[in-house]
A and B are shown apart, each in its own frame.
Chain A
Amino acid sequence: MADQAGALLALYDTALPDVYGYLVARCPSATLAEDLTAETFLSAVAAVRHGKVPRLTTAWLITVARNKLVDHWRRLAREERSLTLAHEAGPVDDPWDDVLDQGRALATLASLGPHHQAALSLRHVDGLSVPQVAEHLDRTVHATEALLVRARAAFRRAYEERGDDDA
């Protein structure tokens, strides 16, 4: 256990930019990315204490970070349910003639509900397979496929709207 504690501290400096880089690319704000980065490393401490670290590597820390992100989306979804936010997305007929803009795509992603953000981030940003996404979200593969269909439609609607707003 002492070996792993020392190893975690030794890994910290090199792993921190990777963990933070992973999270900041998927979070709407740097503040949230910092919070989740801290949660990731503190969870690693807890895992070391309980002897539950399979192999202390940056890749393992990224997996912990991904779980923290999913937990965040779940919390967000619970809060949204309790607030029953209504989001209306009107139909847009304009063709996608804008140059694809990664910033616009990320901003669009951040504007979606937490379930849609989670599904699209895991599938399209992380590049996980549908079964892997399903595992992270505690859903069946069938339910995850259906969620992805709805999430993609919501993303495309919001993407077009965002383009209109920017014009």
Chain B
Amino acid sequence: MPDPLDALRRPSGPVPPRAEFAAALRRRLEGALRDLVPADAPSDLDTEPAGSTVDLGERKDTAMTA
């Protein structure tokens, strides 16, 4: 007689979550880590909506004083 507990035993593989969830969680993490990540690594931390800044064609250096 097979044991139904054996049906539970299986490796769990990667499963992508909903894209909306993944994006929202990334924003939360970025917000929580914002003060720890160096200012010269802005690509992952730029969460401002498009259109809220004026592109002057060159990178603005925002000096952080720790």
Q: Hey, which bits of chain A sit against chain B, CB under 8 A?
A: 1-2, 5-6, 8-10, 12, 16-18, 20-22, 24-26, 30, 33-34, 37-38, 41-42, 45, 48-49, 95-96, 100-102, 104-106, 108-109, 120-121, 124-125, 127, 152, 155-156, 159
Contact = CB atoms under 8 A, between A and B. Distances in A.
Nearest to A22: B12
Given A2-B38, A6-B37, A34-B21, A21 B15 contact: yes
Contacts of B25: 16, 37-38, 41
Interface residues of B, number: 30
A120 B8 contact: yes
Nearest to A31: B21
A102 B10 contact: yes
A6 B39 CA distance: 11
